Amino acid sequence: MNAPLPSPTGRMPRAQASTRRLLVSIHDVSPRSEGAIDALAERLERRLGHANFAMLVIPDHWREAPIAGNAAFHARLRQWAGQGIEMFLHGWCHRDETPATRGLAGIKGKHMTAGEGEFLNLTRDAAAARMRDGKALLEDILGQPVAGFIAPAWLYGPGALAALDDLGFALAEDHMKVWSPLSGKVLARGPVVTWANRSPGRIRSSLWFAGLARRALPVMPTLRVAVHPGDVTVPDLLASIDATLARFADTHAPSRYAGLLA
Ligand SMILES: [Zn+2]
């Protein structure tokens, strides 16, 4: 087992016994980005210790990477879960497949997230069907319950929120909070720190936000960090991710989402 590295200040994490938690996740886990997932997992382990992070699994990313029937990838998923990595269901295909631009929600989904808001415009029945199928598939592969459901781009329309009530997931999160769909209780508040890699402008603004977050957010009891496969292609993003994890792990114990339910 790897212990978390000392921070740049030379101090070891001092929050192990407190309720100051650092929750870190790798988004968009699917067969189409296995190499990047491995690189991110290795990086997180160096900063956080063994398996102290979550993975968000997409059953069929952009309908190009089905995990159903992919025995080699099933073995990887079981191996990760067996190490103690929390496995969340992350939509079904990740893409908003509903007709374009109906009102504000349409604009938000199509333009702000490059069409990745799969659960923004679905009806309750359609959202519930995707959640139910994804949960059954992933739990069948893993042989254990999923940790929860997290919508692509953290975007939930009214149909998706209503469907969550039907499915019995233990945990869900959006940009600003973690909650339990079972109890309706909000378990943690505060913005998730994440990085965009799609364009130079978005890269610059996410580097700026992460720098601000390192200074301002550690007053919060729970800190959240999310990384994506595309981050590994941008050295400046990797440096910012490392700096952010080092700062946050200095005061907040790398933890499991399930700890919020205890
Ligand atoms: Zn995603």
Beta bridge partners of 193: 225
CA–centroid distance, 28 to ligand 1, in Å, is: 5
Residue 179 pLDDT > 80: yes
Confidence of residue 106 (pLDDT cuts 50, 70, 90): low
What average pLDDT does range 142-159 have in this prediction?
96
CA–centroid distance, 8 to ligand 1, in Å, is: 30
CA–centroid distance, 154 to ligand 1, in Å, is: 8
Boundaries of every domain in the chain: 39-261
What average pLDDT does range 114-141 have in this prediction?
95
CA–centroid distance, 227 to ligand 1, in Å, is: 9
Model pLDDT, residue 18:
57
Look over the chain and give the mean of its residue pLDDT values, rounded to a whole number. 90
| Full-model pTM | 0.89
| DSSP class per residue in the chain | -PPPPPPTTSPPP--TTSS-EEEEEEEEESGGGHHHHHHHHHHHHHHH-TT-SEEEE-TEETTTEE-TT-HHHHHHHHHHHHTT-EEEE--SSSS--SPS--HHHHHIIIIISTT--TTTS--HHHHHHHHHHHHHHHHHHHTS--SEE--GGG---HHHHHHHHHHT-S-EE-SSEEE-TTT--EEEESPEEE---SSHHHHHHHHHHHHHHHHHGGGSSEEEEEE-GGGGG-HHHHHHHHHHHHHHHHHSEE--GGGGG-
CA–centroid distance, 14 to ligand 1, in Å, is: 31
CA–centroid distance, 7 to ligand 1, in Å, is: 29
CA–centroid distance, 222 to ligand 1, in Å, is: 21
Asked if the 39-261 domain carries CATH number 1.10.1740.10, the reply is no
Least confident of 1-15, 72-86, 112-126, 243-257: 1-15
Tell how strand 172-173 and strand 65-66 pair up: unpaired
Model pLDDT, residue 5:
47
CA–centroid distance, 241 to ligand 1, in Å, is: 17
CA–centroid distance, 58 to ligand 1, in Å, is: 8
CA–centroid distance, 142 to ligand 1, in Å, is: 20
Confidence of residue 104 (pLDDT cuts 50, 70, 90): low
CA–centroid distance, 218 to ligand 1, in Å, is: 25
Model pLDDT, residue 127:
97
CA–centroid distance, 152 to ligand 1, in Å, is: 4
**Portion of the chain with pLDDT greater than 70, in percent:** 87
CA–centroid distance, 182 to ligand 1, in Å, is: 23
CA–centroid distance, 44 to ligand 1, in Å, is: 18
Least confident of 2-6, 138-142, 171-175: 2-6
